[in-house]
């Protein structure tokens, strides 16, 4: 029997490398598994507007893209490592969206 060293055990807050397939939709259970969080957490993030399902047919099936998986992992990292709550995260993501919108507008105006 060999002993496992401490270095072999991944940190609970370390981000695991994950490369989802592009143009593939994942159901709620798959996202929870791939992101390493509970289904309830994902639903809370959806309700807070931090993550959005791509498809939500009348039957209530939620599907997500690979971007949503990365977003969930990013949210979890910010919550566990930096202690940010949902209100801070929402504000931060809104500001990042606004910065990206302004950058796109600036690129458009420079090419005009």
Statement: residue 5 has pLDDT above 50:
no
Q: β-pairing, 63-64 with 26-27?
A: antiparallel
The helix/strand/coil state of 26 is strand
pLDDT at position 19: 64
How far apart CA 73 and CA 14 sit, in angstroms, is 10
- The DSSP output letter for 65 is -
pLDDT digits (tens, 9 = 90+) for 60-104: 788 999 999 999 999 999 999 999 999 999 999 999 999 999 999
Dig out the tokens for 51 from the structure.
């993550």
- The DSSP output letter for 27 is E
Per domain, the residue ranges of the chain are 12-84
Total residues belonging to the chain: 112
Query: 14 pLDDT band (50/70/90 cuts)?
Result: low
**CATH number given to 12-84:** 1.10.1660.10
Mean of pLDDT values over 23-51 = 93
CA–CA distances in Å: residue 23 to residues 38, 40, 98: 23, 25, 25
HSE of 86, CA atoms in CB hemisphere, 13 A: 12
Statement: residue 7 has pLDDT above 80:
no
């Amino acid at each position: 029997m060999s002993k496992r060293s401490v270095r072999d055990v991944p940190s609970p807050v370390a981000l695991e490398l994950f490369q989802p397939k592009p143009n593939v939709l994942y159901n709620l259970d798959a996202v929870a598994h791939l992101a390493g969080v509970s289904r309830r957490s994902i639903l809370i993030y959806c309700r807070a507007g931090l993550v959005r399902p791509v498809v939500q047919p009348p039957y209530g099936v939620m599907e997500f893209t690979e971007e949503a998986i990365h977003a969930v992992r990013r949210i979890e990292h910010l919550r566990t490592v930096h202690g940010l709550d949902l209100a801070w995260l929402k504000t931060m993501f809104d500001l990042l969206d606004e910065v990206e919108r302004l950058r796109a507008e600036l690129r458009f105006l420079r090419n005009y």
